Amino acid sequence: MEKVYGKSTDGALVYLYSLNNKNGMKAEITNYGGIVVSLYVPDKNGKLDDVVLGFDHLESYISENPYFGAIIGRHANRIENACFELNGKIYDLYKNDGNNNLHGGVKGFDKVLWKVTEVCPNLLKLFYRSVDGEEGYPGNLDVTVTYTLSDDNELIMDYKAISDADTVINLTNHSYFNLSGHASGDILNHMLKINADKFTVNNNECVTTGEIMEVAGTPVDFRQMKSLKPGLLSNDKYIQYVKGYDHNFIINGIANKPEYCAEVYDPKSGRGMEVYTTKPGIQLYTGNNLNGSLVGKSGVQYRKWSSLCLETQFFPNAMKHKHFPSPVLKTGENYHHITIYKFKNAFI
């Protein structure tokens, strides 16, 4: 089902699409930025709640969106000094995060209008051509993102791309989850597990230094499911740098098919979410920059630690660290990446 959602800044109509499954789950997605506007999931009693942060109106996504629910590209996360070298040439990008490039630049994939190429009751396929030089990136890049809401209560995101020149690409989704419901307050009591023995170290600008550390003995050790609260309230310097979690984890044993990498459980609602991916990294972000100034859906003021993001990705700043998995896409090669968010009613 589709309906007119509003108009983009150039006057083009923007649409909102509803995907449904046989269990009553519903996802609402707009072709502006490929944004997951809402996601209704049953709790332990079968009650549906919207578990992603967002806005009631398109205008807010256009004017003040902190990437709520959006497709992120060409390159998710940060690139140090907003430049990278490829084939002996330096490419300069926009500095939209201090001295660095963040989430593709000033007008990343979160702020463009995607073409709808297929829509079904449980599927939405989007297409966008990012032209050579857009935001400083080389090559004409054709991108397809397919959202599927399965009868196994999975929101599946399938990313494909091809370029006519060597380029860099690192696509992800930036949904902010609160499994108690988007309007329920903080996520301090959410339980988290991440299948990672190591993480990439950040500096005080949240840029990876190239150092890889063991999670053991640190607040970023989520090898066993535990509450987010102790870590968020920790005085550890890696937490204090970003006032919460904003860390990339190196997933254990990633393969060519989607593999388990993380899970979240909310004791209050009984909702759980497992994450599967084909990517080597996953970024945990706890909404540290939300301060109550944004008025979200139903007039809710979203505050610090009111949600968490689990963004599957290549490692941040990988073009500066050659020992990281490379985000380079060669001419004519196929980029393909799958992420699955699978919802369940109990884990523990």
What is the rounded average pLDDT of the residues 125-135? 98
Residue 74, CA distances (Å) to 135, 258, 275, 284 in order: 9, 21, 22, 20
Q: 257 exposed, middle or buried (CB, 10 Å; 0-12, 13-18, 19+)?
A: exposed
345 pLDDT band, cuts 50/70/90, is confident
Number of domains within the chain: 1
Looking at per-residue confidence, does 256 or 322 come out higher? 322
pLDDT at 218: 95
pTM of the model: 0.97
pLDDT of residue 348: 38
Q: Region 94-101: what's the mean pLDDT?
A: 97
Span 324-347, average pLDDT: 93
Q: Which of 237, 243, 251 is nearest to 199 (CA)?
A: 251
pLDDT tens for residues 177-190?
999 999 999 999 99
For residue range 237-296, list pLDDT tens digits in order. Answer: 889 989 999 999 999 987 779 999 999 999 999 999 999 999 999 999 999 999 999 999
- Find residue 310's DSSP bridge partners: 284
Share of the chain above pLDDT 90, in %: 95
> Average pLDDT for residues 25-51, to the nearest whole number?
97
Nearest to 264 by CA among 244, 286, 247: 286
Give the model's pLDDT for residue 346.
54
pLDDT, residue 64, reads: 85
| CATH (domain of 141) | 2.70.98.10
- When pLDDT is cut at 50, 70 and 90, the band that residue 347 belongs to is very low
User: Which residue numbers are catalytic?
Assistant: 174, 311
**Which residues constitute the domain of residue 204?**
2-344
- Cβ neighbours, 10 Å, residue 45: 8
pLDDT above 70 for 161: yes
Pairing of strands 272-277, 334-344: antiparallel
